[in-house]
Amino acid sequence: MSYRFLAVLIASLLAAAPVAAESPLAQSLTAMRGFDQRVTTIGFRLAAASDGWCADPAWLPGLELHEITQYGADWRAAAVEAFGLDDDPAVLALAANGPAAGAGLQLDDHVTSIDGAPLPGAAGVAQGSFDRGARILDALDAAFADGHASLAVRRGDRTLAIEVAAVRGCPTRFQLIPAARLNALADGQYVQITTALADYVADDDELAAVLAHEFAHNLLHHRARLDAAHISRGLLGNFGRNARLIRETEDDADRLSVYLMARAGYDPQAAVRFWTRFGRRGLSFLSAPTHSNWRQRIALFEAEIAKIRAAAIAGRPPDPDFVHLPLPSGG
């Protein structure tokens, strides 16, 4: 986490966010948690609403954990100050009205075991590494593989046993990345959005538009499909067949994103609002020839939104007609 990011985050958020922590670094972490909460909630809603659109559904608890070793040396004391972190992982974010929140989990609860098994420890893990965090996520996924899990929680000087019954949805991990660059990406397993872009969106519907586009890439297995087609990225991705096939995946992600938004209860028109404002200002991490220009993208959104509205009038759920879902994960 860089001091450049700290300056951007504090300048744009901290003045408007009530915080209890005293040090600037702890205050920035507390402010960033507001983004984590929004990303977790929206990601959970999108993933849960997509149930039936993937061949490999998962059980979603609506819960994000963090742990002390993922913070670098400059930020470790701030994480302790802001969140009370110690050697046990703790609750960073909860999806609003999600299973974990409904079961009684609270922010900053320390999770000492899941289904009676201790979570991976911090011994020997380098500071600033996500190695332990990834192992904890894997343990969480394994515990919820049957749809429910028992979490042993330390809250202050109390120890609680909390039973969480998850809901089904399509698996993707939604993650906030501290960075001053406007960016978002998907890699087949994760959807990541930078703090700068999360701050740029006007509201939760626009944030859902960005996350839904990236989530659509994962649902459609675009990374695996491009890899199987031996598509080059980077500089070579801007030419010929590479650019054409990448652009096709981007168009399909745009088209599917508004269906995901509608199914999750977000306004699909927010995709038009966001990408129009983003395109007109020239703020683009998405550029031709691997992406359609913003006017072409708006036309794609509007065509699919018209179909969604027609389906609603006819009493039908919003289902895309340009792709067959669910798709096999290796397809």
Domains identified in the chain and CATH numbers:
3-169 (2.30.42.10), 173-313 (no CATH)
The whole-number pLDDT of residue 123 equals 82
- Say if strands 63-66 and 90-94 run parallel, antiparallel, or are unpaired: antiparallel
- Say if strands 58-60 and 63-66 run parallel, antiparallel, or are unpaired: unpaired
Q: Do residues 170 and 53 lie in contact, with contact meaning Cβ atoms separated by under 8 Å?
A: yes
Q: Which of 135, 126, 25 is nearest to 80 (CA)?
A: 25
Q: Has residue 297 got a pLDDT over 70?
A: yes
pLDDT in tens, 114-134: 999 999 988 878 888 899 999
Of 284 and 238, the one with more pLDDT: 238
Q: Has residue 238 got a pLDDT over 70?
A: no
Q: List, in sequence order, every residue forming a beta bridge with 193; answer none if it has no partner.
A: 176, 184
pLDDT in tens, 17-33: 444 447 999 999 999 99
Report the C-alpha gap between 331 and 311 in whole angstroms: 28
Per-residue pLDDT band at 173 (split at 50, 70, 90): very high
Cβ count within 10 A of residue 331: 11
Q: What is the mean pLDDT of the chain?
A: 89
Which residue is associated with the tokens 């509608």?
262
Alpha helices in the chain (DSSP H): 3-13, 24-49, 73-83, 99-103, 131-143, 195-200, 204-219, 222-228, 240-264, 269-280, 294-313
Provide the total of helices (H) and of strands (E) in the chain, helices listed first.
11, 11
The whole-number pLDDT of residue 234 equals 66
Q: Do residues 149 and 141 lie in contact, with contact meaning Cβ atoms separated by under 8 Å?
A: no
Q: What is the pTM of this model?
A: 0.89
The whole-number pLDDT of residue 126 equals 83
Alpha helices in 192-325 (DSSP H): 195-200, 204-219, 222-228, 240-264, 269-280, 294-313
